[in-house]
Amino acid sequence: MASQPQVAGWLAENGPKELEGLFRAIVFHPSVPLLLADNDRHNLEASVGASQLLGLPREKIIGRCLDDFAEPNFKPVIPERWNAFLKEGNQEGTLKLVAADGTPREVEYAAKRNVLPARNLLVLHDKTANDGGPLEADKGPLKNRVPTWVQDYALFLLGGDGKVVTWYAGAERIYGYESGEVTGQHVALLYPDEDTLRARLDEELNRASAEGHFGNEGWQVRKDGSRFWANVITMALKDEQGD
């Protein structure tokens, strides 16, 4: 059996790739234009909605820099704005893009940093799509019009003993704990205290290990003691030997 340091090392190396696959599966809804970009603004993934907005198939968006789709006069603005976003963690604004057919697009965006390590999510909304003016549903801040299932996710890795191994930025935003405060702590820290909590969570981890994944809903607790209702998915990450 591998030691805990070996397990932690394997999770740190392989966990982000597995989580990225899960993130794409649950977040990339066809109707919402979404881009997943690295810290250098290169697109790592594009939803069907983003493909429709830019007039290009996904494979011609992935790998290209966000700047490539901007109007020439707007390109110098992007690096400075992006650097500010990486420092702040969240940003909203407007991009002036050009579709594949040359049509200019004024696009609102809401960006979240590090939904996964060095993976940044951009939610887009084409302001030029409605010739008759903005629809009633389109009024108000973009973040308030983003479906709740793409607004934020708390992604983190657990060892088989239920202790936090890696803690990502979305988890920091939602729970209020920084990585150093929660790494090495049992996941029970995030749940309301009850007599049978530890045993119940261990059983859920065992089910996820045996079945591949386990999902449930229930109350979670932030660092400040406030509670929120969460949809929780626990997915087992296994090495080549199936351990």
CATH classification of the domain holding 13: 3.30.450.20
The reply to whether 242 falls in a domain is no
Q: CA 42, 20, 5 angle in degrees (round to 5)?
A: 115
The DSSP-derived string for 161-190 is TSBEEEE-HHHHHHH---HHHHTTSBGGGG
Phi, psi of 163 (to 5 degrees): -95, 145
The reply to whether 23 falls in a domain is no
Residue 149 pLDDT: 45
Residue 233's Cβ-count burial label (10 Å; 0-12, 13-18, 19+) is: middle
Paired tokens of 54: 């830019």
Last residue of a domain, one of 146, 179, 209: 146
The reply to whether 117 falls in a domain is yes
Dihedral angle, C-alpha 132, 124, 53, 32, nearest 10 °: -100
The reply to whether 212 falls in a domain is yes
Distance CA 189, CA 173 (A): 16
Paired tokens of 91: 């940003």
Q: Model pTM greater than 0.75?
A: no
Residue 76's Cβ-count burial label (10 Å; 0-12, 13-18, 19+) is: exposed
Statement to judge: residues 140 and 202 lie in one domain = no
The boundaries of the domain holding residue 181 are 4-18+153-235
Domain count along the chain: 2
Residue 232 pLDDT: 84
CA dist list (Å): 204 to 13, 33, 233: 24, 34, 10
Statement to judge: residues 195 and 124 lie in one domain = no
Last residue of a domain, one of 146, 170, 187: 146
Phi, psi of 113 (to 5 degrees): -85, 145
Statement to judge: residues 45 and 11 lie in one domain = no
The reply to whether 40 falls in a domain is yes
Statement to judge: residues 63 and 110 lie in one domain = yes
Phi, psi of 133 (to 5 degrees): 100, 170
Statement to judge: residues 35 and 137 lie in one domain = yes
Statement to judge: residues 70 and 110 lie in one domain = yes
Residue 1 pLDDT: 46
Statement to judge: residues 39 and 82 lie in one domain = yes
Last residue of a domain, one of 146, 173, 197: 146
Residue 21 pLDDT: 66
Statement to judge: residues 223 and 135 lie in one domain = no
Statement to judge: residues 121 and 229 lie in one domain = no
pLDDT tens for the chain, 243 residues long, are 455 566 566 666 666 666 666 666 656 666 778 898 999 999 988 888 899 999 999 899 999 999 999 999 999 999 999 999 999 988 999 999 999 999 999 999 988 887 777 788 888 988 876 544 433 334 455 554 555 544 567 888 888 888 998 888 788 888 999 999 999 999 999 999 877 788 888 888 888 888 777 778 889 999 999 998 888 888 887 767 777
Residue 211 pLDDT: 79
Statement to judge: residues 47 and 111 lie in one domain = yes
Statement to judge: residues 140 and 197 lie in one domain = no
Helices (H), the chain: 4-27, 48-54, 77-88, 148-151, 169-175, 179-182, 197-211
